[in-house]
Amino acid sequence: MEEPLILDRYRPLADLGSGGHGSVVLAFDTKMARRVAIKRLPLPRDTRGAVTRPAGLAEARTAAMLNHPNIVTVHEWDTDADEAFIVMEHLDGASIAEVLDATGESFTLDEAAAIMAGVSAAVDFAHANGVLHLDLKPANVLITRDGRVKVADFGVSALTDITGHASGVAGTIGYMPPEQVRAEQLDERTDCWALAALMYEVLTDANPFDADTPEGSLFRIEVADLPLPSEFESDLPRAIDAVLIAALAADADERYETVAEFTAALMPYLGDAEAGRASFAALLEDRLDDVDDETGYTPLGLWDRLAPYTGAFRRVVAAVASAWLAYSAMEGLGLDRPARAVAAAVVALAAALAPGLGAALGFGLFAIGAAISLGWATGLVIGLVLAAFWMARGRKGRTDAFAPVMGPVLGLVRAAPAAPLLLGFVYPPVVAALASGVTALAVMAAAVVSGSESPLLSVCSTYVSDPLRPVLVAIDPVSRLFTPGAGVVVLAWMLAGALTSLGCRRATRTGALAGVLAGGGALLGGYAAWSWLSGSFGPEAFALDLTLGIGIALVVTVLGAPMRPEEE
Protein backbone atom coordinates (compact mmCIF):
# COMPACT_ATOMS: atom_id res chain seq x y z
CA MET A 1 0.00 0.00 0.00
CA GLU A 2 1.25 3.49 -0.85
CA GLU A 3 2.46 5.69 1.98
CA PRO A 4 2.84 9.47 2.31
CA LEU A 5 5.98 11.05 0.90
CA ILE A 6 8.93 11.48 3.24
CA LEU A 7 10.16 15.09 3.27
CA ASP A 8 7.61 15.85 0.53
CA ARG A 9 9.85 14.00 -1.93
CA TYR A 10 10.55 10.33 -1.20
CA ARG A 11 7.93 7.61 -1.77
CA PRO A 12 8.46 4.67 0.66
CA LEU A 13 8.64 1.36 -1.20
CA ALA A 14 9.72 -1.25 1.35
CA ASP A 15 11.19 -1.70 4.82
CA LEU A 16 14.86 -2.67 4.70
CA GLY A 17 15.25 -3.37 8.41
CA SER A 18 15.57 -1.71 11.79
CA GLY A 19 18.03 -1.59 14.65
CA GLY A 20 18.90 0.21 17.82
CA HIS A 21 19.58 3.48 16.04
CA GLY A 22 16.53 3.65 13.80
CA SER A 23 14.91 2.00 10.80
CA VAL A 24 15.80 1.96 7.11
CA VAL A 25 13.33 2.12 4.24
CA LEU A 26 13.75 1.82 0.50
CA ALA A 27 12.20 4.84 -1.20
CA PHE A 28 11.79 6.42 -4.62
CA ASP A 29 13.15 9.94 -5.08
CA THR A 30 10.36 11.65 -7.00
CA LYS A 31 12.60 14.58 -7.97
CA MET A 32 15.61 12.64 -9.23
CA ALA A 33 13.72 9.48 -10.33
CA ARG A 34 16.02 7.09 -8.45
CA ARG A 35 15.83 4.71 -5.53
CA VAL A 36 17.37 5.70 -2.21
CA ALA A 37 17.75 4.19 1.23
CA ILE A 38 16.51 6.39 4.07
CA LYS A 39 17.54 5.93 7.67
CA ARG A 40 14.89 7.23 10.05
CA LEU A 41 16.06 8.36 13.49
CA PRO A 42 13.40 9.22 16.12
CA LEU A 43 14.00 12.60 17.73
CA PRO A 44 14.41 12.57 21.53
CA ARG A 45 11.73 14.02 23.78
CA ASP A 46 11.91 15.64 27.19
CA THR A 47 9.85 14.67 30.22
CA ARG A 48 6.91 16.70 28.89
CA GLY A 49 6.99 14.87 25.57
CA ALA A 50 8.33 17.81 23.57
CA VAL A 51 10.98 17.15 20.92
CA THR A 52 14.44 18.24 22.03
CA ARG A 53 17.71 18.65 20.14
CA PRO A 54 17.60 16.35 17.09
CA ALA A 55 19.35 13.05 17.76
CA GLY A 56 21.48 11.77 14.94
CA LEU A 57 21.46 15.07 13.07
CA ALA A 58 25.06 15.96 13.84
CA GLU A 59 26.09 12.44 12.84
CA ALA A 60 24.24 12.84 9.54
CA ARG A 61 26.17 16.02 8.85
CA THR A 62 29.37 14.17 9.65
CA ALA A 63 28.55 11.35 7.25
CA ALA A 64 27.58 13.82 4.55
CA MET A 65 31.11 15.22 4.65
CA LEU A 66 32.58 11.97 3.43
CA ASN A 67 32.89 11.29 -0.31
CA HIS A 68 34.79 8.10 -1.09
CA PRO A 69 34.28 5.16 -3.48
CA ASN A 70 34.06 2.73 -0.56
CA ILE A 71 31.59 4.78 1.48
CA VAL A 72 27.86 4.79 0.82
CA THR A 73 26.98 8.24 -0.51
CA VAL A 74 24.71 10.42 1.61
CA HIS A 75 22.48 12.57 -0.59
CA GLU A 76 20.63 14.56 2.04
CA TRP A 77 19.84 14.86 5.73
CA ASP A 78 16.81 16.64 7.16
CA THR A 79 14.14 16.50 9.86
CA ASP A 80 10.41 16.80 10.24
CA ALA A 81 8.36 17.18 13.42
CA ASP A 82 9.56 14.02 15.15
CA GLU A 83 12.21 12.27 13.03
CA ALA A 84 15.59 12.89 11.45
CA PHE A 85 16.32 11.39 8.04
CA ILE A 86 19.59 10.35 6.40
CA VAL A 87 19.00 9.84 2.68
CA MET A 88 21.62 7.55 1.12
CA GLU A 89 22.28 5.90 -2.20
CA HIS A 90 20.53 2.56 -2.60
CA LEU A 91 22.91 -0.22 -3.55
CA ASP A 92 21.86 -3.26 -5.53
CA GLY A 93 23.57 -5.94 -3.49
CA ALA A 94 23.74 -7.48 -0.03
CA SER A 95 25.50 -6.97 3.28
CA ILE A 96 28.23 -9.24 4.58
CA ALA A 97 25.78 -10.38 7.26
CA GLU A 98 23.24 -11.40 4.62
CA VAL A 99 25.84 -13.31 2.61
CA LEU A 100 27.07 -15.14 5.72
CA ASP A 101 23.51 -16.09 6.64
CA ALA A 102 22.72 -17.22 3.09
CA THR A 103 25.85 -19.32 2.54
CA GLY A 104 26.40 -20.56 6.10
CA GLU A 105 30.18 -20.51 5.65
CA SER A 106 33.08 -18.11 5.92
CA PHE A 107 34.56 -16.15 3.03
CA THR A 108 37.56 -17.28 1.00
CA LEU A 109 40.91 -15.54 1.41
CA ASP A 110 40.38 -13.74 -1.90
CA GLU A 111 36.98 -12.49 -0.76
CA ALA A 112 38.39 -11.54 2.65
CA ALA A 113 41.09 -9.51 0.88
CA ALA A 114 38.41 -7.62 -1.11
CA ILE A 115 36.51 -6.85 2.08
CA MET A 116 39.61 -5.78 4.00
CA ALA A 117 40.82 -3.55 1.17
CA GLY A 118 37.45 -1.82 0.77
CA VAL A 119 36.61 -1.37 4.45
CA SER A 120 40.08 -0.24 5.47
CA ALA A 121 40.19 2.31 2.64
CA ALA A 122 36.84 3.74 3.75
CA VAL A 123 37.68 3.87 7.45
CA ASP A 124 41.18 5.23 6.84
CA PHE A 125 39.66 8.02 4.72
CA ALA A 126 37.13 8.80 7.47
CA HIS A 127 39.89 8.94 10.09
CA ALA A 128 41.90 11.29 7.90
CA ASN A 129 38.87 13.58 7.93
CA GLY A 130 38.37 13.41 11.69
CA VAL A 131 35.49 10.93 11.67
CA LEU A 132 35.17 7.70 13.63
CA HIS A 133 32.69 5.11 12.40
CA LEU A 134 32.07 3.40 15.77
CA ASP A 135 29.65 0.79 14.42
CA LEU A 136 31.63 -1.43 12.05
CA LYS A 137 29.88 -4.77 11.70
CA PRO A 138 28.84 -7.19 8.92
CA ALA A 139 25.44 -5.55 8.51
CA ASN A 140 27.11 -2.21 7.75
CA VAL A 141 29.45 -3.51 5.04
CA LEU A 142 27.69 -3.84 1.70
CA ILE A 143 28.75 -5.69 -1.43
CA THR A 144 27.30 -4.43 -4.70
CA ARG A 145 26.21 -6.59 -7.60
CA ASP A 146 29.50 -5.85 -9.38
CA GLY A 147 31.57 -6.88 -6.34
CA ARG A 148 32.45 -3.46 -4.90
CA VAL A 149 32.67 -3.10 -1.11
CA LYS A 150 31.05 -0.10 0.58
CA VAL A 151 30.77 0.89 4.23
CA ALA A 152 27.37 2.18 5.32
CA ASP A 153 25.83 3.84 8.35
CA PHE A 154 27.96 6.50 9.86
CA GLY A 155 24.82 7.31 11.86
CA VAL A 156 26.60 6.73 15.19
CA SER A 157 29.90 8.20 14.15
CA ALA A 158 31.34 11.22 15.94
CA LEU A 159 33.70 13.99 14.98
CA THR A 160 36.97 13.68 16.81
CA ASP A 161 38.07 16.71 18.74
CA ILE A 162 41.44 18.39 18.35
CA THR A 163 43.08 15.69 20.49
CA GLY A 164 41.80 12.94 18.21
CA HIS A 165 39.31 11.63 20.76
CA ALA A 166 35.53 11.50 20.90
CA SER A 167 33.04 10.71 23.63
CA GLY A 168 31.80 7.14 23.98
CA VAL A 169 28.60 6.33 22.08
CA ALA A 170 26.49 3.23 21.58
CA GLY A 171 27.58 0.75 18.94
CA THR A 172 26.74 -2.96 18.61
CA ILE A 173 27.61 -5.58 21.21
CA GLY A 174 30.25 -7.92 19.87
CA TYR A 175 31.88 -5.23 17.76
CA MET A 176 32.76 -2.74 20.52
CA PRO A 177 36.08 -2.76 22.39
CA PRO A 178 36.06 -2.23 26.18
CA GLU A 179 36.53 1.53 26.05
CA GLN A 180 33.44 1.91 23.86
CA VAL A 181 31.34 -0.41 26.04
CA ARG A 182 32.31 1.69 29.06
CA ALA A 183 31.64 4.99 27.22
CA GLU A 184 35.21 6.14 27.68
CA GLN A 185 37.32 8.19 25.29
CA LEU A 186 37.58 6.72 21.81
CA ASP A 187 40.06 7.12 18.98
CA GLU A 188 41.14 5.42 15.76
CA ARG A 189 42.15 2.29 17.67
CA THR A 190 38.46 1.78 18.54
CA ASP A 191 37.62 1.33 14.87
CA CYS A 192 40.76 -0.83 14.44
CA TRP A 193 39.43 -3.24 17.05
CA ALA A 194 35.97 -3.31 15.42
CA LEU A 195 37.55 -3.94 12.00
CA ALA A 196 39.56 -6.81 13.48
CA ALA A 197 36.37 -8.30 15.00
CA LEU A 198 34.72 -7.93 11.61
CA MET A 199 37.58 -9.68 9.82
CA TYR A 200 37.61 -12.42 12.44
CA GLU A 201 33.97 -13.15 11.53
CA VAL A 202 34.67 -12.84 7.80
CA LEU A 203 37.38 -15.51 8.06
CA THR A 204 35.65 -17.84 10.55
CA ASP A 205 31.89 -17.10 10.38
CA ALA A 206 32.08 -16.66 14.18
CA ASN A 207 32.07 -13.72 16.58
CA PRO A 208 33.66 -14.73 19.91
CA PHE A 209 32.64 -11.45 21.60
CA ASP A 210 28.89 -11.61 20.99
CA ALA A 211 26.79 -11.71 24.17
CA ASP A 212 23.37 -10.81 25.48
CA THR A 213 24.66 -7.95 27.62
CA PRO A 214 27.55 -5.46 27.51
CA GLU A 215 28.93 -7.07 30.66
CA GLY A 216 28.94 -10.47 29.01
CA SER A 217 30.81 -9.08 26.01
CA LEU A 218 33.38 -7.43 28.30
CA PHE A 219 33.98 -10.76 30.02
CA ARG A 220 34.67 -12.48 26.70
CA ILE A 221 37.04 -9.71 25.64
CA GLU A 222 38.99 -9.18 28.87
CA VAL A 223 38.79 -12.49 30.80
CA ALA A 224 38.02 -15.42 28.52
CA ASP A 225 40.66 -16.87 26.24
CA LEU A 226 40.19 -15.77 22.64
CA PRO A 227 40.01 -18.79 20.29
CA LEU A 228 42.51 -18.61 17.45
CA PRO A 229 40.91 -18.08 14.04
CA SER A 230 42.72 -21.18 12.77
CA GLU A 231 40.83 -23.25 15.35
CA PHE A 232 37.67 -22.52 13.33
CA GLU A 233 39.27 -22.75 9.89
CA SER A 234 42.29 -25.03 9.81
CA ASP A 235 43.27 -23.83 6.33
CA LEU A 236 43.96 -20.28 7.51
CA PRO A 237 47.63 -19.21 7.59
CA ARG A 238 48.88 -19.26 11.20
CA ALA A 239 50.26 -15.74 10.76
CA ILE A 240 46.68 -14.44 10.62
CA ASP A 241 46.19 -15.64 14.20
CA ALA A 242 48.93 -13.37 15.50
CA VAL A 243 47.76 -10.32 13.55
CA LEU A 244 44.14 -10.59 14.67
CA ILE A 245 45.04 -11.38 18.30
CA ALA A 246 47.18 -8.23 18.41
CA ALA A 247 44.45 -6.10 16.83
CA LEU A 248 41.88 -7.44 19.30
CA ALA A 249 43.82 -6.61 22.46
CA ALA A 250 41.62 -5.41 25.31
CA ASP A 251 44.10 -2.62 26.08
CA ALA A 252 44.07 -0.01 23.33
CA ASP A 253 47.81 0.66 23.85
CA GLU A 254 48.60 -2.90 22.78
CA ARG A 255 46.76 -2.67 19.44
CA TYR A 256 47.79 -1.30 16.07
CA GLU A 257 47.82 2.49 16.15
CA THR A 258 46.06 3.00 12.84
CA VAL A 259 43.91 1.14 10.35
CA ALA A 260 46.71 1.48 7.82
CA GLU A 261 49.12 -0.40 10.13
CA PHE A 262 46.58 -3.15 10.74
CA THR A 263 45.89 -3.45 7.00
CA ALA A 264 49.59 -3.63 6.17
CA ALA A 265 50.00 -6.42 8.73
CA LEU A 266 47.03 -8.54 7.60
CA MET A 267 46.83 -8.13 3.80
CA PRO A 268 50.00 -10.17 2.95
CA TYR A 269 48.32 -13.29 4.38
CA LEU A 270 45.03 -12.83 2.56
CA GLY A 271 44.34 -13.56 -1.09
CA ASP A 272 43.88 -11.50 -4.25
CA ALA A 273 41.42 -8.63 -3.74
CA GLU A 274 40.57 -8.39 -7.46
CA ALA A 275 39.78 -12.09 -7.58
CA GLY A 276 37.64 -11.62 -4.48
CA ARG A 277 35.62 -8.87 -6.12
CA ALA A 278 35.04 -11.07 -9.18
CA SER A 279 33.91 -13.89 -6.88
CA PHE A 280 31.45 -11.56 -5.15
CA ALA A 281 30.07 -10.39 -8.49
CA ALA A 282 29.39 -13.96 -9.57
CA LEU A 283 27.90 -14.90 -6.19
CA LEU A 284 25.57 -11.92 -6.00
CA GLU A 285 24.49 -12.13 -9.63
CA ASP A 286 23.25 -15.66 -9.06
CA ARG A 287 21.66 -14.80 -5.73
CA LEU A 288 19.96 -11.58 -6.78
CA ASP A 289 18.74 -12.94 -10.10
CA ASP A 290 16.69 -15.49 -8.16
CA VAL A 291 14.73 -12.71 -6.45
CA ASP A 292 12.20 -10.54 -8.24
CA ASP A 293 13.40 -6.99 -7.84
CA GLU A 294 9.88 -5.80 -7.11
CA THR A 295 8.97 -8.46 -4.55
CA GLY A 296 7.67 -6.76 -1.42
CA TYR A 297 7.94 -3.32 -3.00
CA THR A 298 5.12 -0.88 -3.45
CA PRO A 299 4.61 -0.41 -7.22
CA LEU A 300 5.15 3.15 -8.38
CA GLY A 301 2.22 5.04 -9.85
CA LEU A 302 2.34 7.23 -12.91
CA TRP A 303 2.52 10.47 -10.91
CA ASP A 304 5.58 9.31 -8.98
CA ARG A 305 7.32 8.50 -12.24
CA LEU A 306 6.43 11.88 -13.73
CA ALA A 307 7.36 13.80 -10.59
CA PRO A 308 10.84 14.83 -11.83
CA TYR A 309 9.14 16.81 -14.58
CA THR A 310 6.72 18.77 -12.37
CA GLY A 311 8.96 21.83 -12.37
CA ALA A 312 8.97 22.03 -16.15
CA PHE A 313 5.23 21.32 -16.25
CA ARG A 314 4.56 24.17 -13.81
CA ARG A 315 6.49 26.63 -15.98
CA VAL A 316 4.73 25.50 -19.14
CA VAL A 317 1.31 25.91 -17.49
CA ALA A 318 2.34 29.33 -16.18
CA ALA A 319 3.55 30.46 -19.60
CA VAL A 320 0.46 29.23 -21.50
CA ALA A 321 -2.06 30.52 -18.95
CA SER A 322 -0.39 33.92 -18.52
CA ALA A 323 -0.02 34.38 -22.29
CA TRP A 324 -3.72 33.57 -22.81
CA LEU A 325 -4.75 36.06 -20.10
CA ALA A 326 -2.56 38.78 -21.64
CA TYR A 327 -3.69 38.05 -25.21
CA SER A 328 -7.35 38.15 -24.17
CA ALA A 329 -6.93 41.41 -22.32
CA MET A 330 -5.29 43.18 -25.25
CA GLU A 331 -8.48 43.16 -27.31
CA GLY A 332 -10.11 45.44 -24.81
CA LEU A 333 -7.23 47.86 -25.30
CA GLY A 334 -7.88 48.00 -29.06
CA LEU A 335 -4.63 46.34 -30.18
CA ASP A 336 -4.44 44.34 -33.40
CA ARG A 337 -3.56 40.64 -33.46
CA PRO A 338 0.23 41.02 -34.09
CA ALA A 339 0.56 43.43 -31.17
CA ARG A 340 -1.52 41.14 -28.97
CA ALA A 341 0.70 38.19 -29.92
CA VAL A 342 3.88 40.10 -29.05
CA ALA A 343 2.49 41.17 -25.68
CA ALA A 344 1.40 37.60 -24.95
CA ALA A 345 4.86 36.28 -25.86
CA VAL A 346 6.54 38.74 -23.49
CA VAL A 347 4.24 37.74 -20.63
CA ALA A 348 4.75 34.04 -21.45
CA LEU A 349 8.53 34.45 -21.25
CA ALA A 350 8.22 36.24 -17.91
CA ALA A 351 5.95 33.45 -16.60
CA ALA A 352 8.33 30.72 -17.75
CA LEU A 353 11.22 32.39 -15.93
CA ALA A 354 9.21 33.46 -12.87
CA PRO A 355 5.70 31.94 -12.66
CA GLY A 356 4.69 34.30 -9.87
CA LEU A 357 5.51 37.33 -12.00
CA GLY A 358 3.67 35.82 -14.96
CA ALA A 359 0.58 35.31 -12.80
CA ALA A 360 0.70 38.95 -11.65
CA LEU A 361 0.99 40.26 -15.22
CA GLY A 362 -1.69 37.94 -16.58
CA PHE A 363 -4.18 38.59 -13.76
CA GLY A 364 -3.61 42.34 -13.84
CA LEU A 365 -4.01 42.70 -17.58
CA PHE A 366 -7.09 40.47 -17.60
CA ALA A 367 -8.77 42.59 -14.91
CA ILE A 368 -8.05 45.77 -16.91
CA GLY A 369 -9.39 44.18 -20.08
CA ALA A 370 -12.52 43.04 -18.23
CA ALA A 371 -13.13 46.56 -16.93
CA ILE A 372 -12.94 47.96 -20.47
CA SER A 373 -14.98 45.23 -22.16
CA LEU A 374 -17.51 44.27 -19.48
CA GLY A 375 -17.78 47.44 -17.45
CA TRP A 376 -15.89 48.85 -14.53
CA ALA A 377 -18.03 47.05 -11.91
CA THR A 378 -17.35 43.64 -13.45
CA GLY A 379 -13.67 44.48 -13.92
CA LEU A 380 -13.40 45.64 -10.31
CA VAL A 381 -14.91 42.43 -8.97
CA ILE A 382 -12.68 40.27 -11.17
CA GLY A 383 -9.64 42.35 -10.23
CA LEU A 384 -10.29 42.12 -6.49
CA VAL A 385 -10.84 38.35 -6.61
CA LEU A 386 -7.71 37.76 -8.70
CA ALA A 387 -5.63 40.13 -6.56
CA ALA A 388 -6.66 38.34 -3.36
CA PHE A 389 -5.97 34.96 -4.93
CA TRP A 390 -2.58 36.13 -6.22
CA MET A 391 -1.59 37.30 -2.73
CA ALA A 392 -2.63 33.95 -1.27
CA ARG A 393 -1.23 31.60 -3.94
CA GLY A 394 -0.21 33.31 -7.18
CA ARG A 395 2.84 35.15 -5.90
CA LYS A 396 4.45 31.81 -5.09
CA GLY A 397 4.04 30.73 -8.70
CA ARG A 398 2.58 27.33 -7.85
CA THR A 399 0.51 25.46 -10.40
CA ASP A 400 -2.67 25.94 -8.37
CA ALA A 401 -2.30 29.69 -8.96
CA PHE A 402 -3.57 29.07 -12.50
CA ALA A 403 -6.52 26.90 -11.48
CA PRO A 404 -9.00 29.74 -12.30
CA VAL A 405 -7.71 29.61 -15.88
CA MET A 406 -7.77 25.82 -16.17
CA GLY A 407 -11.31 25.48 -14.73
CA PRO A 408 -13.07 27.08 -17.73
CA VAL A 409 -10.95 24.89 -20.04
CA LEU A 410 -12.55 21.85 -18.41
CA GLY A 411 -15.88 23.58 -18.86
CA LEU A 412 -15.32 23.50 -22.62
CA VAL A 413 -15.57 19.70 -22.54
CA ARG A 414 -18.40 19.59 -19.95
CA ALA A 415 -16.03 18.38 -17.19
CA ALA A 416 -15.63 21.48 -15.00
CA PRO A 417 -16.52 19.59 -11.75
CA ALA A 418 -13.24 17.70 -12.11
CA ALA A 419 -11.39 20.87 -11.05
CA PRO A 420 -12.01 20.76 -7.25
CA LEU A 421 -11.42 17.00 -7.18
CA LEU A 422 -8.08 17.33 -8.99
CA LEU A 423 -7.06 20.22 -6.75
CA GLY A 424 -7.88 18.08 -3.71
CA PHE A 425 -5.84 15.24 -5.17
CA VAL A 426 -2.72 17.42 -5.31
CA TYR A 427 -2.96 20.03 -2.56
CA PRO A 428 -3.61 20.21 1.21
CA PRO A 429 -7.21 20.85 2.34
CA VAL A 430 -6.98 24.62 2.90
CA VAL A 431 -5.18 25.27 -0.39
CA ALA A 432 -7.55 22.96 -2.28
CA ALA A 433 -10.61 24.66 -0.78
CA LEU A 434 -9.35 28.17 -1.57
CA ALA A 435 -8.33 27.34 -5.15
CA SER A 436 -11.58 25.43 -5.73
CA GLY A 437 -13.71 28.37 -4.62
CA VAL A 438 -11.96 30.83 -6.93
CA THR A 439 -12.07 28.31 -9.79
CA ALA A 440 -15.82 27.87 -9.30
CA LEU A 441 -16.27 31.62 -9.69
CA ALA A 442 -14.07 31.58 -12.80
CA VAL A 443 -16.08 28.74 -14.38
CA MET A 444 -19.39 30.44 -13.67
CA ALA A 445 -18.12 33.78 -14.95
CA ALA A 446 -16.91 32.13 -18.16
CA ALA A 447 -20.27 30.39 -18.51
CA VAL A 448 -22.10 33.69 -18.05
CA VAL A 449 -19.93 35.45 -20.64
CA SER A 450 -20.49 32.50 -22.99
CA GLY A 451 -24.25 32.89 -22.66
CA SER A 452 -24.68 29.60 -20.78
CA GLU A 453 -27.75 29.02 -18.63
CA SER A 454 -27.84 27.85 -15.03
CA PRO A 455 -26.16 25.92 -13.47
CA LEU A 456 -23.35 27.70 -15.36
CA LEU A 457 -21.17 24.67 -16.05
CA SER A 458 -20.66 24.65 -19.81
CA VAL A 459 -18.37 27.14 -21.55
CA CYS A 460 -18.70 28.07 -25.23
CA SER A 461 -15.70 27.41 -27.49
CA THR A 462 -15.60 31.09 -28.49
CA TYR A 463 -14.55 31.83 -24.90
CA VAL A 464 -11.02 30.64 -25.71
CA SER A 465 -10.49 33.18 -28.49
CA ASP A 466 -12.53 36.08 -27.09
CA PRO A 467 -13.24 35.60 -23.36
CA LEU A 468 -14.00 39.28 -22.82
CA ARG A 469 -16.57 39.59 -25.61
CA PRO A 470 -19.81 38.75 -23.79
CA VAL A 471 -22.85 37.25 -25.44
CA LEU A 472 -25.85 39.54 -24.98
CA VAL A 473 -27.97 38.28 -22.14
CA ALA A 474 -31.05 39.67 -20.46
CA ILE A 475 -29.49 39.78 -16.99
CA ASP A 476 -26.32 41.62 -15.97
CA PRO A 477 -23.38 39.14 -15.81
CA VAL A 478 -22.29 40.10 -12.29
CA SER A 479 -25.80 39.81 -10.87
CA ARG A 480 -26.12 36.28 -12.28
CA LEU A 481 -23.14 35.20 -10.18
CA PHE A 482 -24.42 36.60 -6.91
CA THR A 483 -27.48 34.46 -6.30
CA PRO A 484 -28.14 32.08 -3.39
CA GLY A 485 -27.80 29.03 -5.61
CA ALA A 486 -24.47 30.18 -7.07
CA GLY A 487 -23.18 30.85 -3.57
CA VAL A 488 -24.13 27.34 -2.46
CA VAL A 489 -22.24 25.87 -5.43
CA VAL A 490 -19.09 27.88 -4.65
CA LEU A 491 -19.21 26.48 -1.11
CA ALA A 492 -19.83 22.99 -2.53
CA TRP A 493 -16.72 23.28 -4.71
CA MET A 494 -14.67 24.37 -1.71
CA LEU A 495 -16.02 21.48 0.35
CA ALA A 496 -15.36 19.04 -2.51
CA GLY A 497 -11.74 20.16 -2.75
CA ALA A 498 -11.24 19.86 1.01
CA LEU A 499 -12.93 16.42 1.28
CA THR A 500 -10.93 15.03 -1.62
CA SER A 501 -7.74 16.38 -0.08
CA LEU A 502 -8.55 14.80 3.29
CA GLY A 503 -9.08 11.45 1.57
CA CYS A 504 -5.71 11.83 -0.14
CA ARG A 505 -3.74 12.62 3.02
CA ARG A 506 -2.57 9.02 3.47
CA ALA A 507 -1.28 9.05 -0.12
CA THR A 508 -3.00 5.77 -1.01
CA ARG A 509 -5.22 4.98 -3.96
CA THR A 510 -7.93 3.67 -1.64
CA GLY A 511 -8.02 6.85 0.39
CA ALA A 512 -7.92 8.98 -2.76
CA LEU A 513 -10.84 7.08 -4.28
CA ALA A 514 -12.85 7.61 -1.09
CA GLY A 515 -11.95 11.30 -1.15
CA VAL A 516 -13.00 11.71 -4.79
CA LEU A 517 -16.33 10.03 -4.11
CA ALA A 518 -16.90 12.20 -1.03
CA GLY A 519 -15.99 15.31 -3.03
CA GLY A 520 -18.29 14.22 -5.84
CA GLY A 521 -21.09 13.81 -3.30
CA ALA A 522 -20.52 17.38 -2.09
CA LEU A 523 -20.76 18.67 -5.66
CA LEU A 524 -23.94 16.69 -6.28
CA GLY A 525 -25.47 18.13 -3.12
CA GLY A 526 -24.49 21.67 -4.10
CA TYR A 527 -26.03 21.54 -7.55
CA ALA A 528 -29.12 19.74 -6.25
CA ALA A 529 -29.54 22.56 -3.72
CA TRP A 530 -29.21 25.20 -6.48
CA SER A 531 -31.79 23.30 -8.55
CA TRP A 532 -34.19 23.31 -5.61
CA LEU A 533 -33.59 26.99 -4.78
CA SER A 534 -34.05 28.22 -8.35
CA GLY A 535 -36.65 25.79 -9.64
CA SER A 536 -35.49 26.62 -13.17
CA PHE A 537 -33.50 23.48 -14.00
CA GLY A 538 -33.42 19.83 -13.04
CA PRO A 539 -30.74 17.14 -12.53
CA GLU A 540 -30.35 16.65 -16.28
CA ALA A 541 -28.72 20.10 -16.46
CA PHE A 542 -25.67 19.02 -14.43
CA ALA A 543 -25.70 15.19 -14.66
CA LEU A 544 -23.33 14.95 -17.65
CA ASP A 545 -20.86 17.47 -16.25
CA LEU A 546 -20.72 15.76 -12.84
CA THR A 547 -20.34 12.33 -14.41
CA LEU A 548 -17.45 13.40 -16.65
CA GLY A 549 -15.76 15.41 -13.87
CA ILE A 550 -15.89 12.61 -11.33
CA GLY A 551 -14.86 10.10 -13.99
CA ILE A 552 -11.74 12.10 -14.87
CA ALA A 553 -10.79 12.35 -11.17
CA LEU A 554 -11.26 8.59 -10.72
CA VAL A 555 -9.02 7.84 -13.70
CA VAL A 556 -6.33 10.13 -12.28
CA THR A 557 -6.55 8.28 -8.95
CA VAL A 558 -6.29 4.85 -10.55
CA LEU A 559 -3.16 5.89 -12.48
CA GLY A 560 -1.21 6.68 -9.33
CA ALA A 561 -1.38 7.52 -5.65
CA PRO A 562 -1.32 11.17 -4.58
CA MET A 563 2.09 12.68 -3.91
CA ARG A 564 1.54 13.96 -0.39
CA PRO A 565 4.02 14.58 2.46
CA GLU A 566 3.82 12.62 5.70
CA GLU A 567 3.07 15.76 7.68
CA GLU A 568 1.05 18.61 6.19
Comparing 62 with 321, the larger pLDDT belongs to: 321
Tell me if 3 is assigned to some domain: no
Is 60 exceeded by the pLDDT of residue 96? yes
250-259 average pLDDT score: 93
Cβ partners under 8 Å of residue 299, min gap 6: none
- pLDDT of residue 19 exceeding 80, the answer is no
Q: What pLDDT, in 10s, does the model give residues 330-386?
A: 766 667 778 888 888 999 999 899 998 988 998 888 888 878 877 787 778 888 888
- pLDDT tens sequence across 145-192: 889 999 987 755 544 443 444 554 567 889 999 999 998 888 999 999
Task: Judge if 163 and 220 occupy the same domain.
Answer: yes
Torsional class of 86: left (φ above 0), alpha (ψ -120 to 50), beta (otherwise): beta
Q: Which span out of 35-39, 293-297, 542-546 was modeled with the highest average pLDDT?
A: 542-546
Average pLDDT, the chain: 84
Catalytic residue among 29, 124, 135, 400: 135
Per-residue pLDDT, 189: 94
Q: What angle do CA 52, 58, 64 make, to 5 degrees?
A: 145
pLDDT at 23 over 90: no
> Does 349 share its domain with 440?
no
For the chain, give the percent of residues with pLDDT over 70. Answer: 86
Tens-place pLDDT, residues 291-312: 444 445 566 788 888 878 888 8
pLDDT on residue 51: 57
Q: What is the pLDDT of residue 149?
A: 95
User: In total, how many domains does the chain have?
Assistant: 4
Please say whether the beta carbons of 334 and 371 come within 8 A.
Answer: no
pLDDT of residue 493: 97
Query: What confidence score (pLDDT) does residue 163 get?
Result: 40
Give me the pLDDT at residue 423, please. 95
Q: Assess whether 135 carries a catalytic annotation.
A: yes
418-426 vs 509-534: helix crossing angle, rounded to 10: 150
Tell me which of 227, 260, 289 is where a domain ends.
Answer: 289
Is there a contact between 38 and 6 (Cβ–Cβ < 8 Å)?
yes
Q: Which residue range is the domain that position 533 belongs to?
A: 402-461+472-568
Looking at the predicted structure, is the pLDDT value of residue 120 above 90? yes
Residue 298 lies in a domain: no
Q: In CATH, what number is assigned to the domain containing residue 484? A: 1.10.1760
List Cα–Cα distances, 510 to 120, 122, 207, 562, in angstroms. 49, 45, 47, 10
- Do 125 and 66 lie in one domain? The reply is no
Question: When comparing pLDDT for 67 and 41, which is higher?
Answer: 67
CATH, residue 260: 1.10.510.10
- Answer yes or no: do 75 and 188 share one domain: no
| 450-478 tens-digit pLDDT | 778 889 898 887 777 767 665 544 345 55
Instruction: Give CA–CA dist 436/431, Å, rounded.
Output: 8
End of a domain among 353, 379, 397? 397
Domain end: 379, 397, 415, which one? 397
Q: What is the pLDDT of residue 155?
A: 54
Q: What is the mean pLDDT of residues 10-17?
A: 85
**pTM of the full predicted structure?**
0.67
| Average pLDDT, integer, range 277-286 | 85
- 471-499: pLDDT as tens digits: 544 345 556 667 788 899 999 999 999 99
Tell me: do 134 and 274 sit in the same domain.
yes
Q: Are residues 152 and 192 in the same domain?
A: yes
pLDDT digits (tens, 9 = 90+) for 519-543: 999 999 999 999 998 888 899 999 9
* 431 and 509 co-located in one domain: yes
For the segment 370-390, what is each residue's pLDDT rounded down to a tens digit? Answer: 788 777 877 788 888 888 888
Buried b (16+ CB within 10 A) or exposed e, 56-69: bbebbebbbebebe
pLDDT bucket at 399, cuts 50 / 70 / 90: confident
User: Is there a domain that residue 498 lies in?
Assistant: yes
